[in-house]
Amino acid sequence: MALLPGSDPSLKAQTVIVGGHFDHLGWGGEGSLDPDVHAVHNGADDNASGTAGVLEIAGKLAAGPRPERSVVFIAFTGEERGLWGSAHYVAHPTVDLAKTVAMLNLDMVGRMVDDQVTVFGMGTAKEWNDLVKQVNAGLAKPMKLGFAPDGYGPSDHSSFYGAGVPVLHFFTNTHADYHRATDDWQKIVPGGIDRITDLAAGIVRHLAGTGDMVAMSLTPVQQAAPPAPANETERARGYGPYLGTIPDMTPRDFGVRFTGVREGSPAEQAGLRAGDVMVEFDGKPIADLYAYAYALREKKPGDVVKIVVERDGKRLTVNAVLQAR
């Protein structure tokens, strides 16, 4: 953790938090999607990219001018084990959470494609939409932003939002190297990280009150928490059986697009491929990633499921045999 103290006597007790996790999967094993591979999982994108981004934002803000509110920078551990580090901070905060204005999280920001970045948490404060668009438009090279309202999700921002703090989570999408030993530095897009840190730093400057910017107040919006896994067995087996799709996290009006399918997976064997948009899973409409996750969790390994996808403007139905993870 690091603290950039605020300059205003009345506002410096209030904070903006910028964070990202630095743990990954060691030599593999539990959590790895290469379960039989004993090799160092460096996690260049997940999440050395986010950790580097936090350091870069700290450098930009420390260069001045000093913000009115204080800014706290945190590198969390235990994220891959279940948000342990961020949950511990929220339970034992260094700075009163009631005085925490917002939390910005960077997790997997190293693989930007076609200038696209997804920003989660847009529905957690009324002011986010206008602020994020304004800062992005002022960049030398604005990005194509996809907005998702949800403040909950499998990364450290969720711990803060569960405690009532407005959040933003920056993310450049999933890929075939996720949780594999192949997630290494050669595939990182450094220029993309630079642009995301410019965006995040600009947002923090507005929130913290930097230079001629007046420190912004946010109006928190609390969403209902998603249901927890039903039991320890369900948690241990990863919330359900294995299909092997790589979902595109960019928000859509309806359906779940696949950025790819894993080699040898039930999805590949069923004929699914990158670019397909799942709209139905075994009779249930799939409006979004949550609907997909819940539908999959209801099944068990060995079940045969009917999957409807849109491909090249047409609907295609395939059958897949789910496997154990």
Spell out the domain ranges in the chain.
2-208, 233-321
CB 37 within 8 A of CB 179: no
CB 157 within 8 A of CB 164: no
Mean pLDDT of 267-289: 92
Query: How many angstroms separate the CA atoms of 308 and 311, rounded?
Result: 10
Residues of the chain with pLDDT > 70: what percent? 95
Mean pLDDT of 307-317: 95
pLDDT at 259: 82
Confidence of residue 246 (pLDDT cuts 50, 70, 90): confident
User: Residue holding tokens 């405690």?
Assistant: 163
Pick the CATH number of 2-208 from 3.40.309.10, 3.40.190.10, 3.40.630.10, 1.10.645.10: 3.40.630.10
Q: At what angle do helices 128-137 and 190-208 cross, to 10 degrees?
A: 130
pLDDT at 226: 65
CB 206 within 8 A of CB 216: yes
Amino acid at 79: E
Looking at the predicted structure, is the pLDDT value of residue 229 above 70?
no
Measure Cα distances from 209 to 48, 112, 164 in Å.
29, 29, 22
Looking at the predicted structure, is the pLDDT value of residue 196 above 90?
yes
Sign of CA dihedral 242, 22, 119, 164: positive
pTM: 0.81
Looking at the predicted structure, is the pLDDT value of residue 230 above 70?
no
**CB neighbour class for 228 (10 Å; exposed up to 12, middle 13-18, buried from 19):** exposed
Query: How many angstroms separate the CA atoms of 81 and 210, rounded?
Result: 36
| Residue-wise pLDDT tens digits, 207-222 | 999 999 999 999 999 8
pLDDT at 9: 96
Query: How many angstroms separate the CA atoms of 122 and 146, rounded?
Result: 10
**Which H, E and C letters describe 165-199, residue by residue?**
CCEEEEECCCCCCCCCCCCCHHHCCHHHHHHHHHH
CB 30 within 8 A of CB 164: no
| Residue-wise pLDDT tens digits, 46-93 | 999 999 999 999 999 999 999 999 999 999 999 998 899 999 999 999
Angle at 319 between CA 317 and CA 233, to 5 degrees: 125
Query: How many angstroms separate the CA atoms of 21 and 42, rounded?
Result: 13
Looking at the predicted structure, is the pLDDT value of residue 157 above 80?
yes
Give helix then strand counts, H and E, for the chain.
8, 13
Query: How many angstroms separate the CA atoms of 308 and 144, rounded?
Result: 29
Tokens representing residue 140 in the block: 């030398």
pLDDT at 251: 72
Confidence of residue 227 (pLDDT cuts 50, 70, 90): low
- With residues binned 3-state (H G I as helix, E B as strand, rest as coil), the percentages for the chain, rounded to 5, are 25, 25, 50
| Residue-wise pLDDT tens digits, 103-116 | 999 999 999 999 99
List the beta bridge partners of residue 146.
Answer: 118
Query: How many angstroms separate the CA atoms of 228 and 12, rounded?
Result: 36
Tell the CATH superfamily of the 233-321 domain: PDZ domain (2.30.42.10)
pLDDT at 289: 80
pLDDT at 232: 34
Mean pLDDT of 174-180: 89
Helices (H), the chain: 50-62, 84-91, 128-137, 157-162, 190-208, 232-236, 266-270, 289-297
